[in-house]
Structure 1
Amino acid sequence: MPRDERHTETIPYGTLGIIPLASCTEMGKKVDEYLVKWREQRQNENTSTLNFAGYKRDSYIVNAKTPRFGSGEGKGVLVDSVRGHDLYIMLDVCNYSLEYTVCGFKNHMSPDDHYADLKRVIAAAGGKARRINVIMPFLYESRQHKRTGRESLDCALMLQELTDMGVENIITFDAHDPRVHNAIPLKGFESVSCTYQFIKYLLLNVDDLHIDSEHMMVISPDEGGMGRAVYFANVLGLDMGMFYKRRDYTRIVNGRNPIVAHEFLGTNVEGKDVIIIDDMISSGESMIDVASELKKRGASRVFCATTFGLFTNGFKKFDEAYENGIIDRILTTNLVYQPSELLSKPWYINVDMSKYMALLIDTLNHDSSISNLLSPVERIQQRVKEYNELHYGK
């Protein structure tokens, strides 16, 4: 059943309200535009009833602020009413571009600051919203998801804290380890994959791909990313390879055991285009090392697709890798902050996730199943079929 037709048969859970925090303003505007357009076009004989009150509006954004005092302390303020609303609070904990002042000194906002602002807005709602959902594309503290030695379990603590505050659903994208859901087994938690969007934007930007096992291969840069690489390879009918990291566990450098070498497991990559699929690019050293190893083994072109492009050490190494023919294109999403410098790079492909996020919100607000959105196999295969017909007539 088409999405719009399905939604005319279900009653919204509550009046839809979107609260994009300052870290997620641009994404929030795009999502709001999609929702306004879809609901304006949607025909439903029941929209005049009380159950559909406020269904069609010029904007679904609820005005919220998180100002700070001169000491650096903050507060959450809701300018608009949220009573009876089905709220979707959006934030990007990786947006380091925002600043605040402490006693005259400028501070860049850290993930901790963004998370504190989220809690302030939830607290400002004061239990008046009908349901609170949090959309946190990069899951806060998701890299600290397990304990090795005497360590904190930050991600689990965060999930439990939010649900204790009344959050019903937490939606994230490509969680570093989705098993953190075990911390809140009785609450909604979705780790959404970006597979369809990666394939869509790769096909839109590269005209001469041959998507078959003779010409293309999917690579996981480490053992932790095996699951997403297996799925990616299976839906495209490709072979898969994997690297594993040999580390020096006798030393700790910058908080981690240094990588000694990347060892490859898989079939021959010679002459094939390869897609390296991962959840994030942090400093990028591992990604470039893996791409270099693939080139040494005779790979043709190297495409890197990661959900979150953090680029914590800047872009210099990626510029060099592109100039040296090690990496051809890099795809990351707009789920986290993208500096203008990144958007101007010749090797960069921006994967826009705003429409997909709007689809999730629209569907959840109608209390409908999102299963087909989480596993878009048919849409992927249709996209590949259209690409082959356009470029190769088959």
Structure 2
Amino acid sequence: MTNKLNEPEHVSRFEALVLRNYDERIIQPIGPVGIITHQLEQSFSDAVNFHLYNRRALTVAKYPEQNQLAGYYRPEYRIPVSLKRFNSGEGQATILDTVRGHDLFIITDVLNYGQRYVRFNQNVSLSPDEHFEDLCRLISAAHGVSKRINVVMPYLYQGRRYQRESRESLDCAVMLNRLFALGISNFITFDAHDDRIANAVPRYNFESAATSFQLIEALLSECPDLQIDKEHFMVISADEAAISRCIYYASVLRVPLGIFYRKYDPRLLDKSEYTMQKLKRTAEKKFLGDNISGKDVLIVDDMIDSGQTVLECAKQLNSLNARRVFVAVSFAQFSEGIEKFNEAYDNGLIHKIFATNLSYRPPALLETEWFCDVNLAKYLALLIDGINHDASLSKLINPTERIHSLLNSFKGENNGQN
């Protein structure tokens, strides 16, 4: 399923990005757009190319002179590449068409375990580490000939390794420094686990785009009977790490916020053999917030990994007599399968889970009744178009105004039906 509500009327397709300069002339693109999507699902790759083509069609209709620019308006923006894997597990990247003078966008999904290859006669899936190495190979293959290289990595590789709690590697910072050392110009991700990772590369352009508008839009579209107000709805943070994200959702929706936190055993805190991960496993989960009896609740987080945290929260919320439990995340990994979620849905613990199509989702997940696939292909295409023009991205990256318009429209429609 995809989100069905239209964009607010006052935010037209032309106003979604400001492509005009101060003298009202359109900003000229950096160069012809080329996108490499070999590491994506085919359907998502097709959708991004389709929406980019449609976006350019609208621009050419308003500014016909843009059609005179070489490569500006064409039905296919994707550059074919070959990512070969040898039996030893080593890899090789080859770009199969010219990228000279292009503004190149390499889009990678490091969570795409649906891609497989044969290593030592064993059929194995590509790991995030292997996807990242393939990305580096593509950058090195294009470096020196393309006009600019931009990396779009929806799920931030090693994004949870952003701070040091003991003698551990800072993988995300190392990854960003490595990419910019290879010569990329822009790095775009979505809902980074912690935006402060940008401090690792202060001299370079790191953008973390929000998916909140699309997730809220899908929620309202799928559940038109929702009442988004203080008496009937509440946003829930599944743990301490998600609090800042949930504060934004609660603020923009103008509803109360509830928080789950871990109550640690004080006898274990000072024992050096207990790492933070061990402490979290032994900690008791407590809820802090208003009375939720009879309310619909929305658990918000950046991802579902195994899903254990979400299931624990849903179980407690149901014991507190929540009416319905919804979950909204940017990335749905389900690294331990979906069986536990099927059981939770059958038992009424969870009503619906919303997640974007920015990362790989197995076919079995897409067939379930409780999962809603939120399509962000158009959003990504608009970002690519804006970056190619060096246009302002504020209206896309900061969706607060659009969310308010969406809510006003939704509440107006509901009031009209009552």
**1:309-337 deviations in Å (ceiling 9; x for gaps):** 10011111111111111111111111111
Counterpart of 1:246 (choices 254, 259, 263) is 263
Alignment size in residue pairs? 392
Q: Does 1:363 align with 2:363?
A: no
Structure 1 residues 271-323: Cα deviation after superposition (integer angstroms, max 9, x where no partner): 11110000011111110111111112221111010111100111111111111
Aligned to 1:230: 247
TM-score, structure 2 length as denominator? Answer: 0.90
- For residues 255 and 381 of structure 1, the distance between their equivalents in structure 2, rounded to whole angstroms, comes to 38
Conservation of the 8 A alpha-carbon contact between 2:39 and 2:112 = no
Q: For the residues of structure 2 that align with 1:259 and 1:193, how far apart are their CA atoms? A: 33
After TM superposition, give the deviation of residue 25 of structure 1 in Å.
3.4
**Which of 187, 193, 204 does residue 170 from structure 1 map onto?**
187
Task: Give the aligned partner of residue 6 of structure 2.
Answer: none
Superposed CA offset, 1:213-272 (max 9, x none): 110010111111111111111111111111112356567699654143211121111111
For residues 114-148 of structure 1, the C-alpha deviation after alignment (integer angstroms, 9 at most, x for no partner) is 00100111111132111111111111111111111
Residue 45 of structure 1 and its aligned partner are, at CA, apart by 3.8
Paired residue secondary structure (2:300) = strand
In the superposition, the TM-score normalised over structure 1's length comes to 0.95
Specify the code of the residue in structure 2 equivalent to 1:4: F
Match of residue 192, structure 1, among 209, 220, 225: 209
Is residue 246–residue 259 contact of structure 1 (8 Å, CA) maintained in 2? Answer: no
CA contact (8 A) 1:141 1:155 kept: yes
Aligned with residue 98 of structure 2, among 70, 73, 81: 81
Task: Provide the C-alpha distance between the structure 1 equivalents of 2:83 and 2:65, rounded to a whole number of angstroms.
Answer: 37
- The Cα of 1:20 is off from its aligned counterpart by 0.6
Letter in structure 2 aligned against 1:280: M
SS of 2:29's equivalent in the other structure is: coil
In the alignment, which of 16, 27, 41 is matched to residue 44 of structure 2? 27
Name the CA distance, whole Å, in 2 between partners of 1:162 and 1:256: 33
Select between 374-383 and 161-170 the one with higher mean Cα deviation: 374-383
Q: What is the 5 A alignment of 1:340-359?
A: 340-359=363-382
Picking from 356, 376, 381, the partner of 1:333 is 356
Task: Give the whole-Å Cα distance in 2 for the aligned partners of 1:36 and 1:315.
Answer: 36
Q: What's 1:54 paired with?
A: 71
Aligned-partner residue type, residue 303 of structure 2 = M
Greater CA drift, 209-218 or 126-135:
126-135
Structure 1: which 5+ runs fail to align? none
The alpha-carbon deviation at position 71 of structure 1 amounts to 2.0
1:318 matches 2:341: yes
Cα distance between partner residues in 2 of 1:188 and 1:24? 27
Percent identity over the alignment? 43
Q: Which runs of 5+ in 2 are unaligned?
A: 1-10, 21-25
Deviations 1:160-200 (A, max 9, x none): 00000011111111111111111101111111111101111
User: How far apart are 1:158 and its partner, in Å?
Assistant: 0.3
Aligned pair 1:262/2:285, yes or no? yes
CA distance 1:259–1:28, change in 2 (3 Å): farther
Paired with 2:384 and 2:357, the residues of 1 have a C-alpha distance of 17
> Offset of 1:391 from its aligned partner?
2.9
Q: Which has the higher contact order (CA 8 A, sep 6+)?
A: 2
Partner of 1:96: 113
SS at match of 2:303: strand
One-letter amino acid of the structure 2 residue matched with residue 292 of structure 1: K
